[in-house]
Amino acid sequence: MNNLIEIKKDFVGNKSGVSARDLYLGLGLHKAHWSKWSKQNIENNEFFIENENWHGFTLEVNGNETKDYAITIDFAKHISMQAKTENSHKYRDYMIECEKPLTLEELSLQAIQGLTKKIEQQKRQIESKNQLIIASNEASIKAGEISVREFVKTNDAINIGSNKFLDWLRGNNIIMQHSRQPMQVYVDNGWLTWKFSKEEINGEKRRELKVTPRGQLQLAKKYLTYRTVKLESLENALMAS
């Protein structure tokens, strides 16, 4: 269905509506008579009430202020038939069609479009965080090696809790599957450390996983890349559906 006229949600209070001026011109009525016609058919209309069925506002057209009206769909259908032009039935039928409940396919399409928009917003947020990643880590870098909990808490790029981040580290083979011990390659490249802590359990010293300043930068970048790829995969799946 082609968009004959823009129907705006919550245009008249919580009701959908259209621009009376757009409808007037679309119906083929004479542009020069707009001011007189609008007063007679909108402002002085005894059947349709201001702030319930319509409200006025001003807009700028070619540098001049012009009065327009937001009118409900019911009011617009009434005006369409009252005009008695070649386009009257076409506009009325279009607005009747727009009022019909959406099909499952149309609802699905709206949901996909909404989700796609949300994905784009998240991608922009990720890009923004990627640009600020060094600045956002300054405090933790100055502190030297920090725990995973501290890293997640102080790093704006990480949008999950410490336990889920540990699961993500395991899923990416950065730490071992059933413990917090890092893979040796990430110790060797200076991302993580696995040292004895001061705490003891049953008289035995325990090891503690910590993230180095280099690791803080590299893990944040790696996680942001993961989020971007995940969003792009979801977007491609939506586009293909």
Task: List per-residue pLDDT tens for the chain, 241 residues long.
Answer: 468 899 888 888 888 899 999 999 999 999 899 999 999 999 999 889 999 999 999 988 788 888 999 999 999 999 999 999 999 999 999 988 887 765 555 556 666 666 667 667 766 766 665 555 545 444 444 457 899 999 998 887 788 889 999 999 999 999 999 999 999 999 998 899 998 877 776 777 888 999 998 898 889 888 888 888 877 777 677 666 5
According to DSSP, residue 38 is labeled: H
The domain spans of the chain are 8-100, 106-240
Structure confidence at residue 98 (pLDDT):
81
Residue 214, both tokens: 């280099």
Backbone φ and ψ of 12, nearest 5°: -120, 90
Is the full-model pTM beyond 0.85? Answer: no
Torsion sign over Cα 164, 169, 175, 178: positive
Amino acid, res. 125: Q
Cβ(95)–Cβ(79) below 8 Å:
no
Query: How far from chain centre, in Å, is Cα 168?
Result: 25
d(CA 27, CA 90): 9
Tokens 């990430």 correspond to: 186
